[in-house]
Structure 1
């Protein structure tokens, strides 16, 4: 599966869903809330504001790491630990849409089991 696409059992492109403001839950606890989400085929991601957890750092997560979405509780669950997310490459607001930036981020996240 492509790292930059939602899993078919997580998000149906036929439905309308805005994930902005949803809480993000790592495998070992809450990491923040979604500031931005995209739904483009092959280019989907969420940007998470980690708030005080890692001093206001933002992180970019490829859509593939999302394992489930709970619209009632407004939670998004990801298949990564807090440490894996904290150690991810720094979010670069100026470059995050560039292919080479995404390639580096993809290399990091593809090291872990899906």
Structure 2
């Protein structure tokens, strides 16, 4: 993976506004629905409304965690589990996704998941 913030090159696509409303699935089940995308250059990420799964909270997943996009089914598959997403630095629903301190902490967390053991 080049960076946790970039869509993996093997997907051969970018994530544009066309994915808003797509369901997000982890290997162990549904995470929620994409409600926003990053507007911060160099920090590509999805803001996901996790609904009741996260007590009405939104969660943020960096674009580099995207494993597949199925446009026909309107589903984005991520390469991390629901528990790993739950353990990520907390994102408040009204928080500015341009908060660089938050994004750096989030990036460090997700990079630790992709590091070789």
Same fold (TM over 0.5): yes
Aligned length: 113
What is the rounded CA distance, in whole Å, between the counterparts of 2:99 and 2:11 in structure 1?
A: 26
Distance 1:89 1:106, change over 3 A: same
What is the rounded CA distance, in whole Å, between the counterparts of 1:44 and 1:7 in structure 2?
A: 11
Structure 1 spans left out of the alignment, 5+ residues: none
Q: Does 1:36 align with 2:33?
A: no
Per-residue Cα deviation, 1:59-98 (whole angstroms, up to 9, x for no partner): 1111000011000000000011010011111114334312
**Structure 1 or 2: larger helix share?**
2
Q: 1:69 is matched with which residue? A: 69
What is the rounded CA distance, in whole Å, between the counterparts of 2:109 and 2:31 in structure 1?
A: 18
Q: 2:3 is matched with which residue? A: 2
Distance 1:47 1:16, change over 3 A: closer
Per-residue Cα deviation, 1:9-67 (whole angstroms, up to 9, x for no partner): 22424x96611000000111111010012377622110000001111110111100001
CA contact (8 A) 2:40 2:98 kept: no
What TM-score, normalized by structure 1, do the two folds share?
0.87
What is the rounded CA distance, in whole Å, between the counterparts of 1:10 and 1:39 in structure 2?
A: 20
